[in-house]
Amino acid sequence: MNDDDVEAVATVLRGDWLTTGPTVAAFERALEQLTGADRCVTVTSGTAALHVAYAAAGVGPGDEVVTTPMTFVATASSALALGATVRFVDVEEDTANIDPEAVAAAVTDRTTVIAGVDYAGHPIEIDAINEIASRAGALVVEDAAHSIGSTYRGRPVGSLADLTTFSFFPTKNLTTAEGGAVATLDPDLGARAHRFHNIGLVRDPDLLRHPDEGPWHQEVHEWGLNYRLPDVLAALGHSQLRRLSAFKARRAEVFARYQQGLAGVDGIRLPTRRAHVDPIWHLYPLRVLEGRRRTVFEAMRADGVGVQVNYLPVYWHPVFEDLGMRRGMCPNAEAFYAEELSLPMHVELTDDDIDRVIDSVTTALRG
């Protein structure tokens, strides 16, 4: 947070529109500019964004959503909430992103959506996924909670998949406290997303079934929820968005300093980056080998370093176990989870902080 962020929020608080006002619209237009999407709809969280995206895609009972287990549970649970069947497929061994070959093997004529996650900020192999989806008659949802500002072959995240979702939770690359957005390339999907996040309300006189009811009249044709992001929070997001490229640059420096400082250290494996992507690094996912991840995690926490593990394979959550899903289903994801240790990654880390983290890792590995 800087003073501009605080002032932007205060201006809205002193103004006429707390919600449904011009600051929401301005933030959405700025997101469209950044992403190259036809339309962006802001919502109250990344989870809401996924729910809206799946609803806009028409996901319902009987439909299958093919997705990755190496993500936060919401990527899958928001599809369950619409009555869909979730099919987990394995990830690529190096990036931990959904594996296009595994997707191709899993799609059926009931697959409505293929949902990938740009793990750590590194975009999925979208060209391959889009091709599989178009052959299968499915839509692609890209969960870009980690990757606002990343590019794939020079194209920005948000302009790659049919629907892209963002999270603006404080741990992410830019924040509105709680918040998120859906970006889409298709005006129809955009209209559906907008309706679902606004209770399903229809006001356009041309679309009303009962247009003569009166000037107050509005209708619901398909149900929706209230997922509207208020102007108060859109102001924070819009202000933060102006610094996104500075955030990306600093995150790249943090990433590079870790790569350099940890190169050649035994017992670990460093994250990979493919040549055709330019990620905004949300995580620095180190891999700790030889079954020592937990020891290193505990030693670093005891040393005051806020390491984390991202993520428990989603089908290990009891809600999926109770649907009959068993461990062993996605070996690459499980092997990745067993080794993964996220080092601190944010824009306010100083070079000294980073060096202290590197020291802490190497000391923990020696211990």
Among 54, 72, 320, 337, binds ligand PLP (CB under 6 A): 72
Q: Which residue is nearest to ligand PLP (CB)?
A: 46
Using rule CB under 6 A, residue 142 touches ligand PLP: no
Sequence-ordered list of residues with C-beta below 8 angstroms from that of 156, at least 6 positions apart, any chain: 34, 35, 36, 149, 150
Question: In whole angstroms, how close is the CB of 282 to ligand PLP at the nearest point?
Answer: 8
Using rule CB under 6 A, residue 117 touches ligand PLP: yes
Using rule CB under 6 A, residue 45 touches ligand PLP: yes
Among 42, 47, 130, 240, binds ligand PLP (CB under 6 A): 47
Stretch that binds ligand PLP, among 41-49, 85-93, 128-136, 289-297 (CB under 6 A): 41-49
Q: Active site residue: 39, 51, 87, 172, which one?
A: 172
Using rule CB under 6 A, residue 95 touches ligand PLP: no
Calculate the CA 296 to chain-centre distance: 27
Taking the CA atoms of the chain, what radius of gyration do you get in angstroms?
21
| DSSP per-residue string spanning 230-295 | PHHHHHHHHHHHTTHHHHHHHHHHHHHHHHHHHTT-TTEE-----TTEE---S-EEEEE-TT-HHH
Question: Is 172 among the catalytic positions?
Answer: yes
Cα–Cα distance, 173 to 149 (Å, whole number): 9
Q: Which is nearer to ligand PLP, 42 or 360 (CB)?
A: 42
Sign of the torsion angle spanned by Cα atoms 164, 168, 172, 173: positive
Using rule CB under 6 A, residue 200 touches ligand PLP: no
Using rule CB under 6 A, residue 74 touches ligand PLP: yes
Tokens of 315: 């089908």
Q: Residue 147 is which amino acid?
A: S
Sequence-ordered list of residues with C-beta below 8 angstroms from that of 34, at least 6 positions apart, any chain: 148, 149, 156, 158, 241, 244
Among 39, 87, 122, 146, binds ligand PLP (CB under 6 A): 146
The number of residues that bind ligand PLP (CB under 6 A) is 14
Q: Please report, as residue ranges, which positions from 320 to 359 form the binding site for ligand PLP (by CB under 6 A).
A: none
Q: Which residues bind ligand PLP (CB under 6 A)?
A: 45-47, 71-72, 74-75, 117, 143, 145-146, 167, 169, 180
